[in-house]
Amino acid sequence: MAKNKFSKEWIQQHINDPYVKMARQKGYRARGAFKLIEILDTEKLMQRGNTVVDLGSSPGSWSQVARERMLGAGGVILGRVIALDVLPMEPIAGVEFIQGDFREDAVLAQLEKQLGDQPVDLVISDMAPNLSGVGSADSARIQHVCDIALDFACRHLTADGALIVKAFHGSGFSQIVESFKRHFQRVVERKPKASRDKSSETFLVGRRLKS
């Protein structure tokens, strides 16, 4: 009974959520689009001509934002957006999509092959592992996801490139921040307005790789 009550409360909150309503109005696939928009606007990131890699892209709202930002005259994308997720994603015009688990070497190799020798301006990651509720195990999973995104960024970003990842406050968070600080000249934490108050999610932004 308590579970049903919780579900009803969650559904009610979801229906009344202003970001859910705005996402519907603007044609975004998820309210998370507004999290990315706020971070991009605050940090003045992403512009036409950029190459962007979207990790954990499904259902596609972050890729939609990236595509929007790179639209030129006549609806032509000036730049490149490559999206990847273990889940399927409905096609987005001009966005290249790879379905697979980023944690697997074969999938990573496929992404790198698709990139070719093209350096990346921005890596965005909304990836989050399935959580078990066991604190130590979950923090290790979260850290692993952030580590592989960071490793990919370090190997493919331009010197002035940036990485945005979703992390969660709690055990292991400070270690993720330290990893970022070892590799980037500037590291900031962002909690966008569209993040729910009860959520411990925090987005880390790393800019300009250390040589």
CB-based contact 114:92 (threshold 8 Å)? no
Has 10 been labeled as part of a binding site?
no
- The count of residues in the chain is 211
Residue 197 resides in a domain: yes
Q: In a 3-state reduction of DSSP, which class is residue 116?
A: coil
Q: Which residues pair with 188 in a beta bridge?
A: 205
How many secondary structure helices (H) and strands (E) does the chain include? 7, 7
- pLDDT band with cut points at 50, 70 and 90 for residue 109: very high
Has 117 been labeled as part of a binding site?
no
Residue 1 resides in a domain: no
Q: Report pTM.
A: 0.90
Has 62 been labeled as part of a binding site?
yes
Residue 188 resides in a domain: yes
CB neighbour list of residue 122: distance below 8 Å, 6 or more residues apart: 45, 46, 50, 51, 52, 53, 161, 162, 163, 164
pLDDT recorded at residue 138: 77
> Domains in the chain: how many in total?
1
Residue 15 resides in a domain: no
Specify the CATH number for the domain of residue 187.
3.40.50.150
Q: Which domain holds residue 102?
A: 30-209
Has 101 been labeled as part of a binding site?
yes
- Report pLDDT digits (tens) over 1-39: 344 555 676 556 666 788 888 889 888 999 999 999 999
Amino acid of residue 174: S
Q: In a 3-state reduction of DSSP, which class is residue 166?
A: strand
Mean pLDDT of 94-110: 94
Residue 152 resides in a domain: yes
pLDDT recorded at residue 139: 81
Which residue numbers are catalytic? 166
Mean pLDDT of 180-203: 93
Bigger pLDDT: 77 vs 39: 39
Residue 119 resides in a domain: yes
